Structure 1
Amino acid sequence: MTKTQITQLSYDIIGCAIKVHKELGPGLLESVYEMCLAYELKEKGFIVNQQISTKINYGKIEIETPLKIDLLVNDTVIIEIKTVESLLPVHQAQLMIYMKILRKPQGLLINFYTDNISKSMIPLVNEYFTKLPE
């Protein structure tokens, strides 16, 4: 994929998140927003994986961890869903490590406990993104 394609994919994901937020509003559990967002994305034809278990390579072993990725769209963009009063640096760090572990170029940190998804959402990219063609 190219940077442009990933950026477009992210815009499409954000559009779906806005639709879910307008329909449901703030105040529900993360799992509810996750299910609804996954539904919207699938309706648009995207490939969506939910609650993906992560493995970590440590030394010479591979460790199955209890860490779960909320959503992975088109095997490219990781979505971490929150329902918190305010996003903290630890939430960004969590998403960045998921992106590193799974070697994905972009992540979206989406907080549904807000009045405006597009203003509170945090897009993150890493070295895998910077190496992609335009």
Structure 2
Amino acid sequence: MNGALPPATEKITEAIIGAAFEVSRLMGHGFLEAVYRRPLGHELGLCGLKWREEVAYHLAYKGNPVGTYVADLLVEDTVIVELKAVDALNPQHTGQVLNYLKAADLTVGLLLNFGKPRLEVKRVLR
């Protein structure tokens, strides 16, 4: 992928980011990441977006189960959203989202970090 998203996916990611900024504005920073999941889902619903939380992706190697990835949110069956509440995002967080995208056979994810006074957003493309 060359970094450009299809217009419908771009619209979804923009709505997710806007919803996350609203949650950050109202709740502040520093809670555990799980605390932000439901308020973000509420905001996504207000935007008219369908979402599911803690979506499991089962991994297999040569037909044998080897593990499960659990994504924080899946929005419109298109965008994986991973929530963090850390001092700073790092390459391991990006790798985690890339693995979720691979397991789900999706191309775009968002890392949202509520651990700083200003929400940190990182778009991850596979």
TM-score, L = length of structure 1: 0.86
Unaligned runs of 5+ in 2: none
Structure 1 residue ranges (4+ consecutive) displaced by more than 6 angstroms after TM superposition: none
- Residue 110 of structure 1 is matched in structure 2 by 112
- Residue 89 of structure 2 is matched in structure 1 by 87
Q: Quick check: which one's helix share is greater?
A: 1
Secondary structure at the counterpart of residue 60 of structure 2: strand
- Residue 123 of structure 1 is matched in structure 2 by 123
Q: How many residues align?
A: 122
How big is the shift at 1:63? Answer: 4.2
Tell me how large the CA RMSD over aligned residues is: 1.3
Cα offsets for 1:34-85 (capped at 9, x unmatched): 11101110122111010011201211224452x3110000000000000000
Identity %: 32
Instruction: Give the distance between the partners of 1:52 and 1:113, measured in 2 at CA.
Output: 23
Unaligned runs of 5+ in 1: 127-134
Secondary structure at the counterpart of residue 31 of structure 2: coil
- Residue 26 of structure 2 is matched in structure 1 by 23
Counterparts of 1:59-98 in structure 2 under 5 Å? 59-65=62-68, 67-98=69-100
TM-score, L = length of structure 2: 0.91
- Residue 3 of structure 1 is matched in structure 2 by 6
